[in-house]
């Protein structure tokens, strides 16, 4: 999990940056692009139809699978400025000009929640969320992660930093 909490007397920054997933997906994008250069090589004419189709399928498969892997990972940065009492949450996809931004007051923070879900294998996943007044919810993580203990430790750190009651985390499915 690329989740990190940086705390100073003036600011609290909660960052979830899936760089490993971005790199992994980029490797497939690159390999797909390399395979798709084969039609421009000198031996392309020597390949029979099924070999040409296989090359194109592999190249397109790698390119699209890698692009999907990179694109679905969301980076989330939540900054809480203790000096002026303002908070800001920024969510973005890689290579996107569109950024989702939410502004709020730190005094509006009501709770830090651990949202439970399951992955495709049925294993439990956890995602931290920030509850604000007016029933607004801001995800602190772009994607859920494994590890209940780590999620509880991060939630406790945030509750302490925000002077929230250290109650048991509410799980939602």
The tokens 């399928």 sit on which residue?
57
> What are the mean pLDDT values of the chain's consecutive 10-residue runs (173 residues total)?
82 88 91 94 91 95 93 90 91 85 91 89 90 90 85 89 71 51
Tell me how far apart the alpha carbons of residues 62 and 117 are, in angstroms, rounded to a whole number: 29
- Quick check: helix, strand or coil at residue 82? coil
pLDDT of residue 171: 52
pLDDT at 1: 46
pLDDT score for 169: 47
Single out the residue of 116, 113, 124, 88 nearest to residue 103, CA to CA: 88
Tell me what pLDDT residue 167 has: 66
pTM for this model (two decimals): 0.77
70, 85 contact by CB (below 8 A): no
């Amino acid at each position: 999990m690329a989740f990190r909490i940086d705390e100073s007397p003036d600011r609290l920054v909660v960052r979830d940056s899936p760089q490993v997933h971005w790199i992994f997906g980029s490797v497939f994008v690159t390999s797909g692009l390399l395979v798709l250069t084969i039609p421009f090589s000198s031996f392309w004419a020597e390949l029979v139809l099924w070999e040409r189709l296989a090359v194109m399928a592999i190249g397109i498969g790698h390119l699209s699978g890698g692009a999907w892997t990179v694109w679905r990972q969301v980076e989330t940065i939540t900054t809480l400025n203790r000096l002026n009492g303002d908070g800001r949450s920024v969510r973005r996809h890689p290579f996107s000009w569109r950024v989702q931004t939410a502004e709020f007051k730190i005094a509006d923070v009501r709770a830090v929640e651990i949202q439970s879900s399951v992955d495709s294998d049925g294993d439990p996943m956890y995602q931290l969320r920030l509850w604000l007044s007016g029933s607004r919810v801001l995800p602190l993580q772009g994607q859920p992660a494994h590890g209940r203990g780590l999620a509880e430790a991060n939630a406790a750190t945030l509750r302490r930093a925000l002077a929230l009651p250290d109650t048991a985390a509410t799980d939602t499915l």
